[in-house]
Amino acid sequence: MAPVESERFQIPNKVLLLLADTCLILLSLILATLLPSFPKFERWNQLVQVGMLGKFVFVIVTFTLGLHYSGLYSFSVTTRWRELVVRSLRGVGLAYLVLALGYACLPRSSLGGKTTALAMVLILIGVLGGRLLLGRTQAPRHRMERVLVLGTGAVGRQIADAVQSATDLDMEIVGFLDEQSKNTGLSSADDQVIGQAPDVEKIVRREKIERVVVALSERRGRMPVQQLVRLKLAGVKVEDGHSVYEQLTGRIHLERLTPSWLFMSSGFRNNGLRVRIKYVLDFIVALILLVVFAPVMVLVALAIWIETGRPILFIQDRVGRHGRQFRIYKFRSMHQKSDSTEVRWTTHKDDRITCVGKVIRKYRLDELPQLFNVLRGDMSVVGPRPEQPYFCQELGQQVPYYAERHSVRPGITGWAQVKFHYGGTVDDSKTKLEYDLFYLKHMSPWLDMVILLYTINVLLSGKGAR
């Protein structure tokens, strides 16, 4: 059998769009600087002033990060114009807000209010118009990465579901290869078995596959090792299904997790230096947030006192790092008789919640006093949410590896909180643990920053609250 030919080099979609946006933003900044002096263009000299390059770079970085945060670096999103409009407005608006804050702190970095506003309009027109035109071409379809799933088990199907439900992935599942050679030709609305595992090389060539995901439920005696090695050496991506599932969903699949995977996997670097750095950053962020939200906290406290009187705060035992218990502070959002008499999860439209409580829980304002827990060293700004001792004991018996989430300080917000809704069942707790394990594996200041940005979006939308 002839070897599989490696595909020609292709610039990744995100890089291509990033380069296009960089050029677009730079052009918009030049036009915004020159247009006020039209038709004489007397402001050419401003473009060559010392420091102008730094100002332009600041704007370019801010807007590209805003567009990335809104999920615009995908060809697939260009085919859905309504979603594209919303994402473009959100990305450009967020970047403009960050620029305004940056200019307020560093006035010398400003391009001027009129120039910045005009540049924002030009950038929005360029980003939206360019992507709308791109969506009407064949480029989004031709630049989709063709993926073949080796295996028809649960993991492979979950990967296919994740790809099909994602709104910003430039991937398409071409089909499955049957590991037991008995379902070939079967198809449904969601998947298609197009061959057998031993035929992987031939099918990769025929279907022009760029990525093979190995998701065999049983690998011993079923994995076509030699064929996969040849494909790998020929330039085809060959990846483990669990790793792909982790990348696509931001979760670590709990059902297939083993102790050997935990201690042999990369990540989970929770050493002393990282813990100390995280604590220092948490302390600084908590102080800043306390200053910023002090007026809001006063108003919330006043509203609670007017509606139901004292106490303003709700204090409860929670489980923290290494299983140690601490007392958590929250603004009271339930009737006084309901705060401590029942140990149960909060449900949708829970009758224990007060009128003020509904508002502060929706926008997570009841969590603000936990900033004092951060200053005390009980909690982090970002980390797995702390649970009550009763639930920790119950879940520890029913959910494998549940105790591993206590290896770090719990957080006010976390990866599970921004990616999943409020958990009120054991199954929900399993799903949230998968997100928590992903956070523990990849924990870093950069991921914490991403979670804080997602948290802002959750706060403004009020999604997932109970």
Q: What is the mean pLDDT of residues 396-405?
A: 88
Q: Sheet holding 145-150: strands in order across?
A: 193-196, 171-178, 145-150, 211-214, 237-240
Q: What is the mean pLDDT of residues 281-306?
A: 93
| pLDDT computed for residue 2 by the predictor | 52
Together in a domain, 426 and 340: yes
| pLDDT computed for residue 71 by the predictor | 86
Domains of the chain: total: 3
Together in a domain, 128 and 150: no
The answer to whether residues 193 and 186 touch, using CB atoms and an 8 Å cutoff, is yes
Together in a domain, 175 and 97: no
Together in a domain, 77 and 174: no
Together in a domain, 308 and 450: yes
CATH assignment of the domain containing 241: 3.40.50.720
For residues 22 and 45, the model is more confident at 22
Q: What amino acid occupies position 121? A: V
Together in a domain, 116 and 168: no
| pLDDT computed for residue 219 by the predictor | 67
Is residue 263, in this structure, part of any structural domain at all?
no
Q: What is the mean pLDDT of residues 288-305?
A: 93
The string of pLDDT tens digits covering residues 212-267 is 999 887 766 578 889 999 999 998 999 988 888 888 889 888 876 777 767 777 77
Q: Which of 451, 357, 375, 465 is nearest to 421 (CA)?
A: 465
Together in a domain, 327 and 449: yes
| pLDDT computed for residue 136 by the predictor | 86
Local confidence band at 4 (pLDDT 50, 70, 90 cut-offs): low
Residue 338, pLDDT above cutoff 50: yes
Local confidence band at 34 (pLDDT 50, 70, 90 cut-offs): confident
Phi-psi region of 112 (alpha: psi -120 to 50; beta: other; left: phi over 0): left
| pLDDT computed for residue 38 by the predictor | 67
Q: Where is the domain boundary, 214, 249, 284?
A: 249
| pLDDT computed for residue 33 by the predictor | 85
Q: What is the mean pLDDT of residues 74-102?
A: 89
Together in a domain, 288 and 151: no
Rounded-to-integer distance, Cα 283 and Cα 265, Å: 30
| pLDDT computed for residue 242 by the predictor | 84
| pLDDT computed for residue 190 by the predictor | 44
Together in a domain, 362 and 450: yes
Range of the domain at 455: 272-461
The string of pLDDT tens digits covering residues 149-196 is 998 888 888 888 888 887 778 888 999 998 765 554 444 434 588 888
Residue 107, pLDDT above cutoff 60: yes
Local confidence band at 348 (pLDDT 50, 70, 90 cut-offs): low
Is residue 267, in this structure, part of any structural domain at all?
no
Lowest pLDDT segment from 12-21, 52-61, 107-116? 107-116
What is the secondary structure of 109-151 as a DSSP string?
G---HHHHHHHHHHHHHHHHHHHHHHHTSSHHHHTSEEEEEE-
- The rounded mean pLDDT for the chain is 84
| pLDDT computed for residue 6 by the predictor | 47
Rounded-to-integer distance, Cα 2 and Cα 289, Å: 62
Together in a domain, 184 and 107: no
Together in a domain, 39 and 148: no
Please report, in angstroms and rounded to a whole number, the separation of the first and last CA atoms in the chain: 60
Q: What is the mean pLDDT of residues 2-27?
A: 77
> DSSP character for 53?
H
Q: What is the mean pLDDT of residues 33-41?
A: 72
Is residue 1, in this structure, part of any structural domain at all?
no
| pLDDT computed for residue 184 by the predictor | 47
Q: Where is the domain boundary, 135, 163, 182?
A: 135
Strands (E) located in 179-275: 193-196, 211-214, 237-240
Is residue 202, in this structure, part of any structural domain at all?
yes
For residues 357 and 47, the model is more confident at 357
Phi, psi of 147 (to 5 degrees): -120, 135
Q: Where is the domain boundary, 192, 218, 249?
A: 249
Percent of the chain with pLDDT over 70: 86
Together in a domain, 160 and 284: no
